[in-house]
């Protein structure tokens, strides 16, 4: 058993179940490692896996054993055979749904992979979430967005670091270069996860590791589970690098907008630094990811070109589902979270008290799947 010494870094307490499988798994994890009930995987519905609360939480419960673990859960559960079998069954359903969503990328030669990645990024016509947050989202809606993103950003870079021992040569060097920036170049206070923790604090939100897990819906878990799926399977190493490339190639402008949105709401540099840092860093990482990381991989292993493009397309497709969920909920005047987040306890920041009342939505009209306005 592991005993937490600092809840900022985990392990987190077990979340509440969301269906019969996650309930049975959670109950089992509270005991010493043992065989899970036979046929448990057969209870997963799988009707719409990408938004299935039970399936996505089941995967998240399994995957977190490979990250920080769960508070009070024995470390030996990480490799318990029946748990791995349950995870594998859920993964097959999840991966199949992602492949159905994305489709099969057109064949491309290894030398054309960087250009194909750039074309994918340029063609991205996902919902205009960043523009909404920049221009008209209320403070409460910005807090919701940050709550969703906390599940990833408080362990930022960790899923992609699983690629390091699976690479060699230029691709490995490129991944190390990108990850060094993500981890603050060896300075803990500059790690991107720590910068994001400051944003959480300035918005009056709990800064504990996975503190908001019970509040976020399945679509948020799916965006995180996708990274873990790619990272934990060597056969998907190309998809993992394509996923990272998509993130680096499509994030500079949105992060500028997020920072500007916080400034519009009256927040200071401590709140916006995480986003401001990504504007500069991701502009550099974009070229490294496309040419040195993914290009370097497919020069060594040309057969992985399709996997790289699949990973990039999957990253953008699931993020589009996530963005559409937020915008559709806000347009309907509701919350995008499963439960209310506590009232903010804001630091003394000029303008932070001018937020619209919780639940008030921005004026979002027309289809949500629109390209970000320039």
Q: How many residues does the chain have?
A: 374
Q: Which two tokens stand for residue 92?
A: 């097959």
pTM as predicted: 0.91
What is the C-alpha R_g of the chain? 20
Which of 265, 295, 281, 277 has the alpha carbon at shortest distance from 174? 295
Ramachandran area for residue 188 (φ above 0: left; ψ -120 to 50: alpha; else beta): alpha
Which of 172, 110, 100 has the alpha carbon at shortest distance from 308? 110
Encode the chain (374 residues) as per-residue pLDDT tens digits. Answer: 445 468 999 999 999 999 999 999 999 999 999 999 989 999 998 789 999 999 999 999 999 999 999 999 999 999 999 999 999 999 999 999 999 999 998 899 999 999 999 999 999 877 899 999 999 999 999 999 999 999 999 999 999 999 999 999 999 999 999 999 999 999 999 999 999 999 999 999 999 999 999 999 999 999 999 999 999 999 999 999 999 999 999 998 999 999 999 999 999 999 999 999 988 776 778 999 999 999 999 999 999 999 999 999 999 999 999 999 999 999 999 999 999 887 665 554 434 433 333 333 333 333 232 233 32
Report CA-CA distances (Å) from 304 to 9, 163, 235, 319: 35, 14, 9, 23
């Amino acid at each position: 058993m592991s005993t937490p010494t600092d809840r900022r870094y985990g392990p987190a307490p077990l979340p509440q179940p969301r269906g019969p499988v996650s309930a049975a798994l959670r109950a089992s994890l509270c005991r010493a490692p043992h065989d899970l009930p036979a046929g448990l995987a057969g209870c997963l519905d799988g009707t719409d896996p990408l938004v299935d609360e039970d399936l996505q939480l089941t995967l998240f419960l399994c995957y977190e054993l490979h990250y920080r673990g769960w508070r009070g859960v024995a470390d030996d559960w990480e490799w318990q055979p029946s748990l791995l079998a349950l995870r594998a069954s859920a993964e097959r359903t999840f991966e199949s749904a992602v492949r159905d969503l994305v489709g099969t990328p057109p064949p491309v030669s290894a030398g054309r992979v960087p250009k194909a990645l750039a074309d994918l990024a340029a063609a991205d016509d996902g919902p205009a979430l960043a523009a909404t947050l920049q221009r008209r989202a209320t403070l409460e809606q910005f807090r919701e967005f940050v709550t969703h993103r906390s599940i990833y950003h408080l362990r930022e870079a960790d899923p992609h670091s699983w690629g390091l021992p699976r690479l060699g040569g230029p691709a490995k060097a490129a991944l190390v270069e990108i990850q060094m920036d993500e981890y603050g170049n060896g300075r803990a206070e500059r790690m991107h996860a720590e910068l994001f923790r400051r944003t959480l604090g300035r918005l009056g939100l709990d800064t504990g590791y996975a503190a908001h897990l019970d509040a976020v819906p399945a679509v948020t878990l799916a965006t995180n589970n996708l990274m873990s799926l790619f990272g934990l399977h060597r056969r998907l190493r190309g998809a993992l690098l394509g996923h990272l490339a998509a993130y680096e190639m499509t994030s500079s402008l949105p992060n500028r907008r997020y920072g500007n949105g916080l400034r519009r709401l009256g927040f200071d540099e401590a709140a916006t630094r995480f986003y401001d840092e990504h504007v500069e860093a991701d502009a550099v990482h974009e070229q490294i990811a496309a040419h040195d990381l993914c290009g370097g991989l497919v020069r060594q292993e040309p057969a992985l070109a399709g996997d790289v493009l699949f990973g990039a397309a999957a990253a953008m497709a699931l993020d589009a589902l996530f963005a559409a969920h937020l915008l559709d909920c806000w347009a309907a005047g509701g919350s995008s979270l499963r439960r209310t987040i506590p009232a903010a306890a804001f630091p003394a920041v000029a303008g932070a008290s001018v937020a619209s009342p919780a639940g008030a939505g921005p004026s979002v009209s027309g289809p949500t799947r629109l390209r970000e306005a320039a």
